[in-house]
Structure 1
Amino acid sequence: IQTVAKVGATVLSRVMKRLEPIPTNPNVEIGIDQPDDAAVVSTPPGMVSIQTVDYFRSFVDDPYIFGQVAAVHALGDCWAMGADPHAALAIASVPYGLEAQVEETLYQMMAGACSVLREAGCALAGGHSCEGAELSLGFSVHGAAPREKLMKKGGMKTGQKIILTKPVGTGTLFAADMRAKAQGQWISNALDSMRQSSGEAARVLFDHGATACTDVTGFGLLGHLVEMCKGSNAAAVLDMDAVPVLPGALECVQLGITSSLQPANVRLARAVANPEAVSNAPKYPLLFDPQTAGGMLASVPAERASDVVRALIAAGYPHTAIIGEVLEYLPKASGNAPERVVFVSSASVPFDGASNIKPTQVVSCGADACNL
């Protein structure tokens, strides 16, 4: 049995010295520059605090790139709510090894993370490091936003357009990479997407009137859309043809290669109103593909949707697309199937419009965790 041990103080001190200048934020009153038992972060007047946490093990050989992805992933929840990240506490685990190896790995991983935190204006306020069986990294993020600026998952409104800012497919691509079935360029493209900050995307969405937003991560595009529908007591049409996909992702799912989380995500197919018509489509499995550091999924006023897309593309999100529309309810979504809140359309399966039969309410559709 392997035990987990803290990284030695000498190693940690050398790593922190090499990381200078450490990312800072004026709202951090006590942080890593004056170590204490805990960080102290102030919340500006008129703002509310945002707290979130993410942690996962490495899936790439390069610790610097992994650090970047882990930081983008952790900050995503903060950005999605319209908040600015102010401080992050790191939880890092480095594989056992010689002292020099441990130091270099920890340094590279944290250097990658700090490059993202620095760009986001988020301080590295402290953390905990240890030696363990595998490389892993997570962050507890503290942010703040004016209450009126918060973008919640449950804020979708009938008639709004649904926008996605990054392509999907990271889950199947890295599952294929583990099997030596993915082309190098596919993985390179995926990593570029995962390392891209969504901070500017969230700002553009808010400035153009987005009323609901979330980041697409482990439960896949459909899972997070279902949660937004559930929180908004609404339904949606999802245009499968419009969903942007990373190069190689379609080829991987057609080989039958999916992420280990895919089977759990597929349970949310019960939320699809027309599974028989679309389940055999080549792109359909990608709706359930778990994402790491995925894009922003938001609803915006229909009359501003085209402007939002243009603004997001200009801001550096070239794959941004309108992928659906918010409805008050779906036809035939009453009676014995009120959990069916998403109609998946395509060129061969057009949406035939809403009926005048309104369900009494949208009920749970299998998304048991309310914070997917």
Structure 2
Amino acid sequence: MRQEFPELPHEAVLIGLDAPDDAAVVTVPPGQVMVHTVDYFTALVDDPFVFAQICLKHCLSDLYAMGATPYTVLATVQIPYATPVKQAEMLYQILAGTHKGLLASGTPLVGGHTVVGPQLALGFACNGVAEPTQLLRKGGMQPGDRLILTQPLGTGTLFAADMQGKAKGRWIEAAIASMLTPNRAAAEIVRAHGATACTDVTGFGLAGHLLEMVRASGVTATINLDTLPVLAGAANTLAAGIISTLQPQNLQAAEFIDPVGIRHPLYPLLFDPQTAGGLLAAVPARQGQSCLAALQRQGYDQAAIVGEVTAAGGPWPLTLKQA
């Protein structure tokens, strides 16, 4: 018999999976606000145990980007058509991966829903708490702030190549390792260094998410293409013209970007959709190098200062440069 996953103890959970009811019941800490987010997508790796951890990291990232602490999680799972035995095994692996991913933050899974469909898909509704005065928003960037990207780019092109059988195994292994790296410590570090704004880099790509921050803050920004951190193999697959199916949609952001760097080999990386990506934070200039050093000491080896915030008034919301 399979062992049961022990419910993570959490005094705020009044009714959870230890004694299931029609819904979970959770107390809210006095003086704090609730932060809610949800995401859902189909499997991009064959291993459901690994996929669950990737999906959970991706979904929790919105909370960390907002400066919130994960509080509870609900899961929605679509199991592929198969024999009952195979379905039970896949669900077990999903729950095992979810349990492992939640251990890092001590966040309890308090419920969920399972359906059967043509392919494996998974999503999490993640709930967090935060001090209302400590929330990090996309707006708030100030001219002179340094833009720090905590993890490398390239999952979109790499997994597109993998689907075509054109990616090396070591490239995909490195990409998965990056996608499994939690954003919790990175969020704590950028907050400790006075971050003025933050977001997670996911489906819209670096350019799309940065443009959201620029608009919300009423500023412009410059990206140094030569300092972008890149996952192993991503430059190779981009050079071969292999891109994600979401890349053309993300390219719509190019109309707001100075085309001076359009011929740079890493230019397409600006529009590469990320799964379980890192954080993009703006920190005061005086804190930039110390924040970067702290991230790298914590294990975010490829964290980099990728640009800076500039005053509004130029012809382009986002400009590019090369070192």
Q: Supply the distance in 2 between the matched residues of 1:100 and 1:128 (Cα, whole angstroms).
A: 19
| CA distance in structure 2 between the partners assigned to 1:105 and 1:330 by the alignment | 54
CA distance in structure 2 between the partners assigned to 1:316 and 1:42 by the alignment = 34
- Sequence identity of aligned pairs in percent? 47
Task: Return 5+ residue gaps in structure 2 as ranges.
Answer: none
Partner amino acid for 1:282?
P
Any idea what SS the aligned residue of 1:120 has? coil
Tell me if 1:303 matches 2:286: yes
Is the 1:170–1:190 Cα contact (8 Å) retained in structure 2? yes
Matched with 1:97 is 82
Structure-2 residue corresponding to 1:255: 240
Q: CA RMSD in A?
A: 1.1
- Verify: 1:35 aligned to 2:11, yes or no: no
Q: Does structure 1 residue 318 correspond to structure 2 residue 294?
A: no
State how 1:58-69 maps to structure 2 within 5 Å: 58-69=43-54
Q: Using CA pairs below 8 Å that are at least 6 residues apart, which structure has the higher relative contact order?
A: 2
Corresponding residue for residue 149 of structure 1: 134
Deviation at 1:26, TM superposition (A): 2.5
- CA deviation vs aligned residue, 1:316-347 (integer Å, no higher than 9, x gap): 1111111111111253x2xxxxxx30001113
Q: SS state of the match for residue 30, structure 2?
A: coil
Distance in 1 (CA, whole Å) between partners of 2:139 and 2:8 is 33
Contact 2:207 2:271 in 1 (8 A): yes
Partner of 1:342: 318
Q: What is the aligned partner in structure 2 of residue 328 from structure 1?
A: 311
SS across alignment from 2:281: strand
Q: Which residue of 2 aligns with 1:336?
A: none
Q: Does the aligned pair in 2 maintain the 1:60–1:66 contact within 8 Å?
A: yes
Q: CA deviation at 1:19?
A: 4.0
Question: Partners in 2 of 1:241 and 1:27 — Cα distance?
Answer: 47
1:51 is matched with 36
Alpha-carbon distance in structure 2 between the residues aligned to 1:20 and 1:175? 34
Please report how far the alpha carbon of residue 270 of structure 1 lies from its aligned counterpart in structure 2 after TM superposition: 1.1
- Please state how far the C-alpha of 1:100 moved relative to its aligned partner: 1.1
**Counterpart residue number, 1:8:** none
Deviations 1:118-148 (A, max 9, x none): 2112110000011111001000011001012
* TM-score relative to the length of structure 1: 0.85
Structure 1 or 2, whichever has the larger Rg, is 1
- Match of 1:18, SS state, is coil
1:94 counterpart SS class: strand
Q: State the 1:25 CA deviation.
A: 2.7
1:164 aligns with 2:140: no
Normalised to the residue count of structure 2, the TM-score between the two structures is: 0.98
1:3-42 equivalent positions in 2, closer than 5 A = 18-42=3-27
Cα 1:206/1:19, change in 2 over 3 Å:
farther
What secondary structure is seen at the aligned counterpart in 2 of 1:56? strand
1:195 has 2:180 as partner: yes
* Partner residue of 1:185 out of 167, 170, 184: 170
Query: What's 2:261 paired with?
Result: 278
- The residue aligned with 1:351 is none
Q: How many residues align?
A: 323
- 1:211 matched to 2:196? The reply is yes
Aligned residue type for 2:28: T
Q: Does 1:245 align with 2:221?
A: no
CA contact (8 A) 1:24 1:124 kept: no
1:288 aligns with 2:271: yes
Q: Distance in 2 between matches of 1:260 and 1:19?
A: 39
